[in-house]
């Protein structure tokens, strides 16, 4: 339990918030009915926090470059990253909320500073919106800040109180905004802020971003189907977003001009860098207003009706057009990469210490140059980033299926049945079935003392993980490997796949294959040299 928020805790906050938003992204997208029912609020919030987390990680990336960053540098990096990567109405508001919080937290991370930070964050969010509306993220932020002022003396009490108050405020948003009541949902942006505040409370409690992150009892709603569709009559046709380099004195005229062009105007930032978001009918005029104020860049213009049409007809186009298909496999290790390429996949080489972000996944799919893409993740930690990337790509007309393979051995099983000549849906079903029929395990070496599902392990212990959970602890790779195979083959199986990592002892593969055949003479076995650093041995049983 922390008594003062420090730089590592802010780093954990960013990572936990990203995980929480990744878990809730589709739920939040489904809640999105205001201001435009375009089903992307969860994705926009995820991308915003992903950018904030990446900016913070860049400060910790090279421990040999100098002393680790302090609290002030870390919270400012978080705010800058969010501002640069902010997407959509809710993303810009959240970025401004983080900026307001950072202004106070840069001065200290005690309980009183956190109280003040939450109030300044709420004020900054309101100031960013040209026409604030209650029953939205703004209301949730204000109520959380108000109740934090009444919390106990400790940092944890302030964070927990703010989170609980935000959850309660979210439940009441349909009473404040008629469009939410009509749809029977709570506010999507507010739901995202609840996840961010829950992550803050978790970080203060000392939770680390390892394994599944619980959402701390956040508000749950029945999933409703909100599909991308054009705005109703009288609503502007375009969403315009850009970053703007401009002096503070240029902003009042810019706000006035953009407010006259459309609605949903949000301008966040400061110190010469701003994120501008507005819905207009004349997209060119909105960009020209930015040119008069300063230098707009990273300009994104979305035509709501065309985006809805692309979303709704991508599958139909896939049936009419000549299909070109690619399978993109995310792997680490040269041997695994070569094996996937030989099986017909395009490979994205993943750094084992830094999983690819959504932008990297989307860029890799674009480089594949296909209208139909099957994405093999081979890592459960990539699901949220892949989901956000897939949503962007579908708006660009790419037909994409994300197969949430949890291990490279499941990805190899999927590739083994891939047939480009089949219809896309049939190919995806066959690959999904093959991956799902492959149970997976791995042998790993513990880096330190830790509690696991199988008991306490010490540094240097060999861990046998089955389906992602530690099932066995031992002292020898061969001994633990034999026990893992016994458990996996006890449920049946016809083919054992072993993928060897870096530095595996000579003879280990032969020992494990001989044991598998001794226990189950009918079992076939194949061995590949994957070259992965993450685990000495990956095991698949089909």
In which band, very low, low, confident or very high, does the pLDDT at 246 lie, cut at 50, 70 and 90?
Answer: very high
pLDDT at 63: 57
Provide DSSP, 137-192. HHHHHHHHHHHHTTS-SSHHHHHHHHHHHHHHHHHTHHHH-HHHHHHT---HHHHH
Domains and CATH numbers, the chain: 7-218 (1.25.40.340), 236-320 (3.30.70), 322-436 (3.40.50.510), 439-541 (3.30.1180.10)
Per-residue pLDDT band for 537 (boundaries 50, 70, 90) equals very high
Q: How many residues are there in the chain?
A: 542
What percentage of the chain has pLDDT greater than the value 70? 91
Tell me the per-residue pLDDT of 150-201, one tens digit each, with 9 for 90 and over. 998 899 999 999 999 999 999 999 999 999 999 999 999 999 999 999 999 9
- pLDDT single digits (tens) 19-60: 999 989 889 988 988 887 777 889 899 999 999 999 998 888
- C-alpha 230/C-alpha 37 separation (Å) is 8
Residue 67 burial class via C-beta count within 10 angstroms: exposed 0-12, middle 13-18, buried 19 and up: exposed
**DSSP class of residue 18?**
H
Confidence at 440, pLDDT banded by 50, 70, 90: very high
Report d(CA 28, CA 502) in Å as an integer. 41
Asked if the model's pLDDT at residue 212 lies above 50, the reply is no
Q: Considering only 18-27, 30-39, 106-115, 465-474, which range has the smallest mean pLDDT?
A: 30-39
Rounded to whole angstroms, the Cα distance separating 150 from 145 reads 9
pLDDT of 137? 95
Q: How confident is the model at residue 420 (pLDDT cuts 50, 70, 90)?
A: confident
pLDDT (0 to 100) of residue 299: 87
Evaluate if residue 490 carries a pLDDT over 80.
Answer: yes
Closest CA to 17 of 104, 126, 91: 91
Query: For the residues 393-412, what does the mean pLDDT come to?
Result: 89
Spell out the residues 6+ positions from residue 290 whose beta carbon is closer than 8 angstroms to its own.
Answer: 242, 244, 246, 254, 276, 296
210's CB contacts (< 8 A; 6+ apart) are none
Cα–Cα distance measured from residue 406 to residue 394, given in angstroms and rounded to the nearest whole number? 23
Q: What is the mean pLDDT of residues 305-331?
A: 58
Instruction: Look at 306 and 423; give whichever has higher pLDDT.
Output: 423
Local structure of residue 36 (DSSP, 8 states): -
Q: What is the DSSP string of 46-85?
A: HHHHHHHHHHHHHHHS-GGGSSPP-HHHHHHHHHHHHHHH
Among 505, 495, 499, smallest CA distance to 339 is for 499
Angle of helix 88-105 relative to helix 111-128, nearest 10 degrees?
140
What burial class does residue 217 get, using C-beta atoms within 10 Å of its C-beta: 0-12 exposed, 13-18 middle, 19+ buried? exposed
> Does residue 111 have a pLDDT over 60?
yes
Distance CA 201, CA 531 (A): 39
Identify the band that residue 324 occupies on the pLDDT scale cut at 50, 70 and 90.
confident
What is the mean predicted confidence (pLDDT) over 322-327? Answer: 72
- Residue 340, classed as helix, strand or coil, is helix
pLDDT band of residue 62 (cuts 50, 70, 90) is: low
| C-alpha closest to that of 258 among 284, 232, 233, 235 | 284
**Dihedral of the CA atoms 69, 72, 77, 83 (nearest 10)?**
180
pLDDT grade for 305, boundaries at 50, 70 and 90: low
Omega before 35 within 30 of 0, i.e. cis: yes
Per-residue pLDDT band for 503 (boundaries 50, 70, 90) equals confident
Average pLDDT along the chain: 86
Does the pLDDT value for residue 207 go beyond 50? yes
Q: In this structure, are residues 216 and 195 in contact, taking their beta carbons and an 8 Å threshold? A: no
CB neighbours of 89 closer than 8 A, spacing ≥ 6?
Answer: 35, 41, 44, 189, 264, 266, 277
Omega prior to 123 cis, within 30 of 0: no
Alpha-carbon distance 288 to 132, whole Å?
25
pLDDT of residue 227: 37
pLDDT for the residue numbered 191 = 95
Question: Strand, coil or helix: what is 362?
Answer: helix
What is the rounded CA–CA span in Å between residue 346 and residue 330? Answer: 9
Q: Which burial class, exposed, middle or buried, applies to 525 when counting CB atoms under 10 A from its CB (0-12, 13-18, 19+)?
A: middle
Q: According to the model, what pLDDT value does residue 102 have? A: 95
């Amino acid at each position: 339990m922390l008594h003062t928020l420090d730089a590592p805790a802010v780093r954990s906050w960013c990572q936990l918030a990203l995980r929480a938003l990744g878990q809730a992204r589709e739920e939040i997208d489904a809640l999105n009915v205001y201001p435009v029912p375009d089903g992307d609020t969860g994705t926009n919030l995820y991308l915003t926090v992903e950018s904030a987390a990446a900016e913070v990680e860049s400060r910790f990336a090279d421990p040999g470059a100098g002393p680790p960053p302090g609290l002030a540098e870390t919270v400012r990096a978080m705010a800058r990253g969010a501002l640069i990567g902010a997407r959509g109405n809710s993303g810009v508001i959240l970025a401004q909320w983080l900026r307001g919080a950072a202004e106070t937290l840069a001065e200290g991370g005690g309980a009183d500073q956190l109280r003040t930070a939450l109030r300044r964050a709420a004020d900054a969010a309101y100031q960013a919106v040209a026409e604030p509306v209650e029953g939205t993220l703004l209301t949730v932020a204000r109520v959380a800040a108000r109740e934090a002022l009444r919390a106990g003396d400790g940092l944890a009490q302030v964070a927990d109180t703010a989170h609980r108050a935000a959850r309660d405020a979210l439940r009441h948003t349909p009473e404040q905004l008629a469009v939410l009541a009509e749809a029977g949902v709570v506010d999507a942006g507010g739901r995202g802020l609840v996840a961010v505040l829950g992550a803050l409370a978790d970080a203060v409690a000392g939770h680390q971003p390892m394994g599944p992150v619980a959402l701390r009892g956040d508000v749950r709603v029945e999933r409703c189907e909100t599909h991308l569709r054009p705005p109703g009559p009288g609503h502007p046709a375009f969403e315009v977003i850009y970053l703007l380099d401009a002096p503070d004195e240029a902003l009042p005229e810019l706000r006035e001009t953009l407010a006259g062009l459309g609605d949903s105007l949000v301008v966040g930032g400061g110190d010469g860098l701003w994120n501008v978001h507005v819905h207009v009918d004349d997209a060119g005029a909105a960009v020209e207003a930015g040119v008069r104020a300063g230098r707009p860049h990273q300009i994104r213009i979305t035509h709501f009706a065309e985006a809805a049409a692309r979303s709704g007809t991508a599958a139909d186009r896939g049936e009419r057009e000549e299909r070109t298909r690619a399978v993109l496999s995310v792997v680490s290790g040269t041997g695994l990469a070569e094996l996937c390429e030989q099986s017909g996949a395009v490979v994205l080489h993943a750094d084992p210490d830094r999983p690819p972000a959504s932008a990297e996944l989307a860029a890799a799919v674009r480089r594949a140059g296909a209208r139909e893409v099957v994405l093999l993740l081979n890592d459960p930690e990539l699901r949220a980033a892949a989901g956000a990337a897939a949503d962007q790509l579908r708006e660009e007309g790419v037909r994409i299926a994300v197969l949430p393979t949890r291990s490279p051995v499941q990805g190899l099983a999927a590739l083994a049945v891939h047939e480009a000549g089949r219809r896309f849906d049939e190919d995806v079903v066959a690959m999904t079935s093959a991956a799902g029929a492959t149970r997976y395990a791995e042998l790993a070496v513990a880096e330190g003392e830790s509690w696991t599902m199988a008991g306490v392990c010490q540094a240097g212990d060999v861990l046998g993980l089955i389906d992602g959970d530690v099932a066995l602890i031992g002292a020898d790779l061969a001994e633990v490997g034999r026990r893992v195979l016994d458990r996996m083959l006890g449920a049946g199986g016809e083919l054992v796949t072993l993928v060897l990592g870096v530095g595996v002892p000579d003879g280990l593969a032969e020992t494990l294959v001989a044991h598998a055949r001794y226990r189950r003479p009918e079992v076939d076995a194949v061995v590949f040299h994957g070259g992965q650093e993450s685990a000495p041995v990956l095991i698949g049983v089909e």
